[in-house]
Amino acid sequence: MRKIFVSSDHAGFSLKKSVLNFLAKKKFNFTDLGPFSSNSVDYPFYAHNLAKKVKKNKKNIGILICGSGTGMSIAANKHRNIRAAQCFSVKSTKLSRLHNDANVITLGSRLISKNNALKFISVFLNTKFEGGRHLRRVKKI
């Protein structure tokens, strides 16, 4: 069974709350890994914690949110078998799944609207990896 793990830093906390509500309404199986307030935190802790959870099962998915999406992406991608993609459009989100088999989406709360973030998450969760020639490339990562 696929599990979705969600985390943020203080800059992404408000958007994370909206994401959690969205996932609950859609009846997805998810876990909030914190933080649980908007107090200042260090994003690498949350990215590393989420990456460890996601890589336990190939079906798991992660959603990371910080101010830009960049820091979370860099930290999560330090983990073997994590393919975190910073998404900023429907097309970049769709391609991250189709061609890269991304298993973590990172979002910049200061760069995209709440509506776009929820749209990107929906695309991410509903797009399957194409495999084929892309599998050969993903295996080289």
Q: Which residues are catalytic?
A: 66, 99
Are 30 and 5 a contacting pair, CB within 8 Å? yes
d(CA 62, CA 73): 11
